[in-house]
Chain A
């Protein structure tokens, strides 16, 4: 297992297009989290899953955002009708339990640029 994997690493899209990102967590981790990070800021929580259940969503997660984790393994984050304000790094993290051993493990992120 090589840690949390995110694809693609970079995505450039035109405003109004839909985009989908994928996260593959550490295999034994039951919790999966999505965060968003803009330049010069710390990551902001978007949502988290415990197994396949989406248990919590931030106010930041507008109706244009949807996340799934259908089999409790990988997760996808879709943004519909992208806006320039969606440009950010989207980070995925996983953990075993609430805090787990060594806390969260983050992936390297997907950098989205909306033009």
Chain B
């Protein structure tokens, strides 16, 4: 059971949009609508920002959006702000009560 594949880094200037990809397989992302995304600042616990592919928890800005096509999910951060600089992890249900994470993407706001 390999980790989902994310780019190790991404960057953008304030106000710009950035999209982070998360590649899985037909056993996880491709067959389940249980993709979630987490934001993690240094030395903090992860925070849920997207669930069920596209939904945002209460309190998460609508600058964060999620999507999925085939075996790949994506997170888009629009109108980048300094506080968006963090690591972002995707996760998916992988069957048999198992979950799997991506390797993480460090987002830098230039």
Say whether A associates with B. Answer: no
- Spell out A's residues near B (CB within 8 Å): none
- Spell out B's residues near A (CB within 8 Å): none
